[in-house]
Structure 1
Amino acid sequence: MNTNSVEFFNTKDDEKFPDTSAIIIAAWHLSNSENIGKIIRLAHNLGATEALFVRESENHRESKIKKTAGFSYDQMNWRFISENDFIELLGSGFQLTIVETCDGATNIYRENLPQKTILLAGSESHGLPENIIKMANKSVYIPMPGGCKSLNISNALSVAAFEWYRQQIRV
């Protein structure tokens, strides 16, 4: 039995999303270095254009990020950017899709996600600020039928990013 994932996925030619689709995965004011590493790895797994971490200072534990991201740390295009730089990026041809439990958010599984999107989730403790929520083209939430009503940010971005991917490859 073959358990080598590289060999396995090299045989799957039909799983690439169209050239007209692109995703940037972004996180707002994260404080947990492991979450940053997990999001870098997620973006690399998905073939995202880049991973963005919006925060005013880079006070993070690089060794933890590197350990969690694995070889994606050096292979994936990722960076820290300021809030102002993020807001300027919003006019670059990508629509902003936020994953947030806010007024007006719709169930992600009932929403058509944009072909070119910046997928953004907020900090572990405070979510997204109101001004960013108002800038979003789409606000979605992930339904949680169980007793716990929150997901770790890297898990939430994973669910949302792969729902975007599923929508891009469906025929």
Structure 2
Amino acid sequence: MEESRIVEGRNAVLEAFRSGKTIDRLFVLEGCKDGPVQTILREAKKSKDTVVSFVKKERLDQLSETGKHQGVIAYAASYDYAELDDILASAREKGEDPFLIILDNIEDPHNLGAIIRTANQAGAHGVVIPKHRAVGLTATVAKASAGAINYTPVAKVTNISKTMEELKEQGMWFVCADMGGTTMYDLNLTGSIGLVIGNEGHGVSELVKKNCDMVASIPMYGDIDSLNASVACGVLAYEVVRQRINKAK
């Protein structure tokens, strides 16, 4: 956990919520039901971004940097999240087919930062990450993005599969990266497209893969059978760029 993001103590955590700051995680002493804590939990419930965990005192003591957590510790996002509708509206305003990068449980902040950097350079309109079981917009992510986090919006959603279904209704197609797919050069990746990149260890989950219209594989000629998630994202994103350029000619 990063020092710049930790908020400890009941008053500090409550004010962080009330100020409108995005809180990624809230840790609460299990069994604690007094008034101030209930007020904090009500604020957390209003937020679609906050994951609440009830933990033992030992866990809070481990997380605490001040030793004065008063039964609550929060981790605030270093940067604000965007709304998915605003990202799509921005693409429309530019007269461009939406190009999104969808991340299925990326856990490494360096990978997320590198992907945001690639998204910016490849002209993607935004990045979508899940609320649970994935890294958020931390200071490490911001640093790894080399400043791209200030220009490329990142939306956080509760359910990746459901979000994809909703976007399909708006005419978006989805392609995910998987070794068992069709060679990326043989796929039509033009138009309104969402590029789905899976978890570093397990790849794209089966449920998310079922919602993809295409499965793309990257040609590999070496002795190992996989690429780092952010590198795979870069390779596929620039295949999207190449096809868009050719279509525009």
- TM-score band, normalised by the shorter chain? 0.7 to 0.9
Structure 1: unaligned runs, 5 residues or longer: 1-17
Q: Provide the C-alpha distance between the structure 2 equivalents of 1:59 and 1:122, rounded to a whole number of angstroms.
A: 13
Deviations 1:91-114 (A, max 9, x none): 232101111124xx1000122213
* Bigger RCO of structures 1 and 2 (CA < 8 A, at least 6 apart): 1
Cα separation, partners in 2 of 1:58 and 1:30, compared to 1, 3 Å: closer
Residue of structure 1 in register with 2:117 after alignment: 41
Task: Compute the displacement of 1:116 (Å).
Answer: 1.1
Unaligned runs of 5+ in 2: 1-93
Provide the C-alpha distance between the structure 1 equivalents of 2:171 and 2:158, rounded to a whole number of angstroms.
Answer: 19
CA shift, 1:86, in A, is 4.4
| TM-score normalized by the length of structure 2 | 0.56
Report the counterpart of residue 172 of structure 2 in structure 1. 94
CA shift, 1:163, in A, is 0.6
Aligned amino acid, residue 101 of structure 1: M
How do 1:42-81 and structure 2 match up within 5 A?
42-56=118-132, 60=136, 62-81=138-157
Query: Which of the two has higher C-alpha Rg?
Result: 2
Q: CA deviation at 1:28?
A: 0.6
The Cα of 1:54 is off from its aligned counterpart by 2.4
TM-score, normalisation: structure 1: 0.80
Q: What amino acid is the match of 1:96?
A: F
The residue number in structure 2 matching 1:31 is: 107
CA distance in 2, matches of 1:51, 1:136: 17
Aligned partners of 2:139 and 2:164: how far apart in 1? 25
Q: Is the 8 A contact 2:128 2:154 kept in 1?
A: yes
Match of 2:234 in 1: 158
Alpha-carbon spacing, 1:21–1:127, altered in 2? closer, same or farther (3 Å): same
Among all aligned residue pairs of Structure 1 and Structure 2, give the percentage whose two residues are the same amino acid. 26
Deviating above 2 A after TM superposition, structure 1's stretches of 4 or more consecutive aligned residues are: 18-22, 57-61, 84-92
3-state DSSP of counterpart to 1:165: helix
Separation (CA, whole Å) in 2 of partners of 1:89 and 1:165: 20
Contact in 2 for aligned 1:30/1:123 (Cα 8 Å): yes
